[in-house]
Amino acid sequence: MSILVDGDTKVIVQGITGRDGSFHARSMLAYGTKVVGGVTPGKGGQRLDELPVFDGVGEAVKATGATATVIFVPAAFASAAIREAADSDLSLIVCITEGIPLMEAARNYRYAKDRGKVLVGPNCPGLITPGHCKIGIMPGQIHAAGRVGVISRSGTLTYEIVHALTAAGIGQSTCIGIGGDPITGLSFVEVLEMFERDPGTDAVVLIGEIGGEAEEEAAEYVRKSLSKRVVAFIAGRTAPAEKKMGHAGAIISGSRGTAESKIKAFREAGVTVVDRPDQVPEALRG
């Protein structure tokens, strides 16, 4: 089992004729994802290898039966791409694009939510159900199918920890990067709820970082409602206050959002918090 995507998920790529869109469309296809077409306004009727290109999302969905889209368009056009996808019959929208202004991101979040769509990102690596479907930029070769869910704000830390899990013989059910911006679509809590309901997930690895209160909210959900084991790693322990460190959301203000406050919240919720990424496999087995 898995969450959000499986071997039957049909995907279109918005921005498929661009450098990033074309590269990752081919990468997803090579992994085995059912990529069924793409969208680039003004280039409808062209093809990327065997994939048809359409002028609009609605046309692409009608022609291909796609249920998910991944967005590889510049930040200036990403909000329009998200909204066009939200107006279609797609159920899942994955936005890889970074640099979307904060107020636009807030409006995009509400626009998608009001239409019942699941939005992952922006500024995220996407998600993968190993062996079945990869949407986004995660390197498929480091993943292995199994029963541990992974949720993260950081793409590179996801790769590091997943690689350690796979090397230790611990496979993953679904790995999802929710994005590092202050406002994203899916939250830690929403993904934890999905993993709680998934019979194919026995435990969860949560990868957080400084800034915001998403991890504290996740800890509260774990304390009250999650029956499955959680191991967490929080990045940014040595970051100075009031400075952006990496992601736009990684800014500490006051006593909330610090690494210490997040670690304290998780430990009080019964979560095992490790000091280094390479300690995650051992913690899961402990």
What per-residue confidence (pLDDT) applies to 257?
75
Instruction: Identify the domain boundary among 89, 120, 151.
Output: 120
- The string of pLDDT tens digits covering residues 16-26 is 999 999 999 99
Indicate the number of domains in the chain: 2
Q: Which helix (H) or strand (E) holds 215?
A: helix 214-225
Instruction: Identify the domain boundary among 61, 91, 120.
Output: 120
In a domain, 133, yes or no: no
- How far apart are alpha carbons 42 and 56 in whole angstroms? 9
- How far apart are alpha carbons 256 and 268 in whole angstroms? 15
Same domain, 24 and 91: yes
- CATH number for the domain that contains residue 32: 3.40.50.720
Same domain, 112 and 177: no
- β partners of residue 128: 134, 175
- The string of pLDDT tens digits covering residues 206-242 is 999 998 899 999 999 999 999 999 999 999 776 665 5
What per-residue confidence (pLDDT) applies to 250?
46
Q: Which domain holds residue 169?
A: 139-285
What per-residue confidence (pLDDT) applies to 243?
55
- Neighbour order of strands in the sheet with 10-14: 47-48, 51-54, 34-39, 10-14, 68-71, 92-95, 118-120
In a domain, 202, yes or no: yes
Q: Is the pLDDT of residue 58 over 60?
A: yes
Same domain, 237 and 149: yes
Angle at alpha carbon of residue 37, lines to 57 and 21, rounded to 5°? 90
- CATH number for the domain that contains residue 176: 3.40.50.261
At residue 80 the predicted structure's pLDDT band, cuts being 50, 70 and 90, is very high
Same domain, 254 and 206: yes
Report the mean per-residue pLDDT for the chain: 94
Same domain, 94 and 174: no
In a domain, 126, yes or no: no
Question: Catalytic site residue 247?
Answer: yes
What per-residue confidence (pLDDT) applies to 247?
54
Same domain, 112 and 232: no
Selecting among 24, 132, 143, 247, the annotated active-site residue is: 247
Same domain, 238 and 267: yes
Average pLDDT over residues 37-60: 98
- The string of pLDDT tens digits covering residues 166-208 is 999 999 999 999 999 999 999 999 999 999 999 999 999 999 9
Taking the model in full, what pTM does it have? 0.94
In a domain, 217, yes or no: yes
Q: Are 101 and 123 in contact (CB under 8 A)?
A: no
CB atoms within 10 A of CB 63: 13
In a domain, 96, yes or no: yes
